[in-house]
Chains A and B, each alone.
Chain A
Amino acid sequence: MAKRVLSCFVAALLSMTLYAQSVIPNNPGVKPTFAIRNATIYPVTAAPIPNGTIVFSRGVITAVGTNVAVPSDAIVIDGSGLSVYPGLIDAGDKVGLTEISSVAGTVDTTEVGDLNPNARAEIAINPHSNLIPVTRANGITAVLSVPEGGIISGQSALIQLAGWTPAEMVIKSNAGMHIRFPRLRSAPLADQPQEEEAEKELRKTYTKDLDKLRDLFRDAQAYAKAAAAHAHRFNRDTILEALVPVVEGREPAMIEANLARDIRAALEFIDEFKLKAILVGAQDVKPLVPELKRRNIPVILGPILELPPREDDPYDLLFANAAALHEAGIKFAIRSNDDHNARNLPYHAAFCAAFGLPKDEALKAITIYPAQILGVDDRIGSLETGKIANIIVTDGDPLEIVTNVKRVFIGGEDITLQTRHTQLYEKFKARP
């Protein structure tokens, strides 16, 4: 009976707000003291702790270990047979910016034009998107939400997947300036080249795009100098202003380049403007390992579950990149670059583990490594005292599909695992 009432309620909610999240939070805003005991705890930055206890209070982890005193006011969760991990971090996707891909009115990923450094993801994050509960229900508690399109797509925001307003969600705004490095072709030459004239046109566009990017960065450099010199009497320009922290090396340039030729060109660009850079995508990263190592440039790989770009590429090209970076000692993270299925992030990492990456490294690539690369490892990415209580409880290895996520805590709040999907499931399971 109670169930029936609930489904009616759910149905009513569904009809009211089609595109808005209708899951009801467990205890909104409440961040009591929790203690999870008798669980295997994976701090990620330290060895797993069998039969461990983790305590968190008012949103912050207060104790992790075996000999941990459980405060008297703590809500105790028996973690027998369960595992505790830090919430997973997706180092790049579109969660929050899109709802239904083919319905333009629900998509805010891509601004018009080639150069949009002033476009900022956090402006358009919809805290009530149905993608958010779906993503976090699989243990992902933070994502880098990234604008796309053009040459300079805009600036990403690192958000946690709970909150009533964008401001409540943002862990780091302006996390990076996203540059899709100009490419000669949208895909490598797969057949005989097309006619000469079209080829010329292609090259012209490519050169023009490169020039455009360089010109804007040069302007930004000049602008930064001028702004510093005449701080008060100065005509502000939003586009150049947005680039100032990037040309000054304060904000990372997250440069997406995949083919070796494009990565090389991107590296030249990075050198030319002395940028603090993160390479993104990086399908052809292997031959460029020494170059990256020399410059100490971290890499965000992914999506891993994608076809290799060229016919002749090894079938496991994208699966094997992470192992190569690990062996070379280059810092890397793995992203899904997805939206609706960002929830599959752990399986992108698992594929890397199936092809040579140690399993614990695969886990780090979606927890502490993205936190380090994004400069927030003092707050998230591992289970350590003082860090934000983004914690997941599972019945196994979260990189295994058959593992279930049992509990999710974000900022110390007990997060519902309900999603639009579970609601529809419950509703139609009950269909007479």
Chain B
Amino acid sequence: MKKIAALTLLIAVSAIAQEHVTVIRNATVLTITNGRIEHGSVVMRGSKIAAVGPDSSISVPAGAAVIDAAGKFVMPGIIDSHSHTAVEGAVNEGSLANTGMVRIADVMTAEEIAAYRQLAGGTTTALILHGSANSIGGQSQIAKWKWGKPVSEWPIKDAPRTIKFALGENPKSANFRPPEGVPRQYPATRMGVEEVIRTSFTDARDYLAKWDEYEAKQKRGEPAIPPRRDLLMETMADILRGRIDVHSHCYRSDEILMLLNVAHDMGFHIKTLQHVLEGYKVAKEIAAAGTGAGTFIDWWGFKAEAYDAIPYNIALMTRSGVLTSVNSDSAELARRLNQDAAKAMKYGGLTADEALKLCTINPAKELGIDTRVGSIEVGKDADVVIWTGDPLSTYSRVETTFIEGEIYFDRSRDLEQRQQLAREKADRLKKEAEETAREKKDTKGRKKNG
């Protein structure tokens, strides 16, 4: 027994000994939660941050890889609280008004170059959401862009379960024509959207009652037929039980209030409002509900419900006490969320610290993963990005992106790989052309003989 324990200890120790240690020195470290450190160091041991502080206070462990980041900035990996990257097939199961049974987790794909490009913009983590075609969409997935690893390693395993709701023009199919022969779908108004959500939870309560009844009968030893296990209703029930966080797409202030009311009536919580372009009009109410907001800074006027979108939205919500993040909803924008954060300084006067939080610790809190990511703190995941300069400057770019202590993007490595990949492509195409020519010749030869 003792022997086994000792052996286990030995294995544990050797595992630690093998852990890779990287130290970034001499950088401006933007910790997010504890201010900025000039001439600071970050020590990454294995997948975690082991130490952070002024260079003078940090000793470099033996065998550590040391990166001199003089003149450079280090910040935590950016978190995108609204992504549709790395999804195979449609992001919408658009056939029904409530498709809470479908799961993004089932269809994630690692063959998505957008993930790599986002790493090159310092983004490491995202909430991958179902689309907004229906009032209640599918279950979303929180994941890291572990480009090059099998997709099974991308999700953050213990992250909260989440689901997408959607209000307004999209679920009411305002800008969408059904295919020929398919009748217009319900709902077509914001009234209908509200009804769909309310009814879904009314049904879920009935569903739970049916199971309670069955279980009671079983307990009493009475014969009972098990009810149907309905994946949609199970999802709704889990929302009611607080086991799934709701992130809802919305634009107009009236529908924001509507959702907060329905949630209140039905007894569940809205974790965040997504897009929430008119959030500034009802910021008090959002703050009172303890609901977060993930929004764009720029996008306005692309549809009627976005006509009152203003770049000051983030500032107004932040000042009203709403936990706010800036997110992308776009594989392009997800490469530069730091810049959208900077715009919140320009429009409404957030401080640099507040701005940086918009794409780091705030979304981490909104997604319920802030104990792991979102700031440079000892014990957190070593998701760290080295920038050539201040990430709030438009002239800065990413040098290196780490996830859990491993390099997933590095500019110099990228430049080298370009050549290699181009060579491989040329070689393969050449080989293929030769093969095709040979095959053609063979076929011709056969025809002559035949």
A interface residues with partner B (beta carbon < 8 Å): 18-19, 99-103, 130-131, 305-308, 311-312, 314-316, 339-341, 344, 346-347, 350-351, 353-355, 359, 399-404, 420-422, 424-425, 428-429, 431
Contacts and interface: CB of A to CB of B under 8 A. Distances in A.
B320 to A, nearest CB: 9
Contact of A311 (B113, B299, B301, B348): B113
Given A314-B414, A340-B301, 18 more contacts: A100-B306, A100-B307, A101-B302, A103-B304, A305-B336, A307-B117, A307-B331, A308-B117, A315-B117, A340-B298, A353-B394, A353-B395, A354-B395, A399-B394, A421-B312, A422-B312, A424-B312, A431-B281
B169 to A, nearest CB: 8
B120 interface: yes
Most chain B beta-carbon contacts within 10 A, residue among A131, A312, A341, A428 = A428
A421 B339 contact: no
A428 B314 CA distance: 13
Contacts of A351: 394
B387 to A, nearest CB: 10
Contacts of B397: 354-355
Contacts of A429: 316
A429 B284 CA distance: 11
Given A354-B395, A404-B346, A344 B298 contact: yes
B186 to A, nearest CB: 21
A218 B307 CA distance: 45
Given A103-B304, A404-B346, A428-B281, A354 B311 contact: no
A401 B421 contact: no
A214 to B, nearest CB: 31
18 contacts: A18-B307, A101-B303, A103-B304, A305-B332, A305-B336, A314-B414, A314-B418, A315-B414, A347-B394, A350-B394, A354-B397, A401-B343, A401-B345, A402-B345, A422-B312, A424-B312, A425-B312, A425-B316
A192 to B, nearest CB: 13
A425 B297 CA distance: 13
Given A340-B299, A354-B396, A347 B339 contact: yes
A10 to B, nearest CB: 13
Contacts of B169: 102
A315 B307 CA distance: 32
A432 to B, nearest CB: 10
A312 B339 contact: no
Contacts of B335: 315
A401 B304 contact: no
A352 to B, nearest CB: 10
Nearest to A316: B120
B342 interface: yes
Contacts of A425: 280, 310, 312, 316, 348
A312 B298 CA distance: 29
A312 B117 CA distance: 11
A406 to B, nearest CB: 12
Interface string B401-433: 000000000000010001001000100000000
B279 to A, nearest CB: 10
The 6 closest A-B pairs by CB, nearest first: A350-B394, A102-B303, A425-B312, A421-B310, A401-B342, A340-B301
A341 B340 CA distance: 12
A359 B310 CA distance: 30
Interface in B68-120: 113-114, 116-117, 120
Contacts of B388: 354
B268 interface: no
Contact of B394 (A130, A316, A341, A354): A354
B394 A401 contact: yes
Most chain A beta-carbon contacts within 10 A, residue among B300, B303, B343, B421 = B300
Contacts of A339: 301
Nearest to B395: A354
A281 to B, nearest CB: 16
B295 to A, nearest CB: 14
A31 to B, nearest CB: 29
Contacts of B238: none
Interface in B356-372: none
Nearest to B307: A100
B300 A340 contact: yes
A169 to B, nearest CB: 20
A288 B345 CA distance: 40
Contacts of A401: 339, 342-343, 345-346, 392-394
Given A100-B307, A401-B343, A428-B316, A312 B114 contact: no
Nearest to A421: B310
Contacts of B175: 102
Contacts of A344: 298
Nearest to A305: B332
B215 interface: no
A347 B346 CA distance: 13
Contacts of A431: 281, 284
A359 B395 contact: yes
B354 interface: no
Contacts of A355: 397
B310 A312 contact: no
Given A315-B117, A402-B346, A421-B312, A100 B301 contact: yes
A28 B392 CA distance: 37
Contacts of A403: 346
Contacts of B114: 307
A101 B300 CA distance: 10
Contacts of B304: 100, 102-103
A213 to B, nearest CB: 30
B195 to A, nearest CB: 24
B231 to A, nearest CB: 31
Nearest to A353: B395
Nearest to B411: A316
A90 B396 CA distance: 23
Interface in B222-254: none
A355 B169 CA distance: 39
B308 interface: yes
A428 B280 contact: yes
Contacts of B348: 425
Contacts of B425: 312
Nearest to A314: B418
Nearest to B330: A307
Nearest to B302: A101
A101 B301 contact: yes
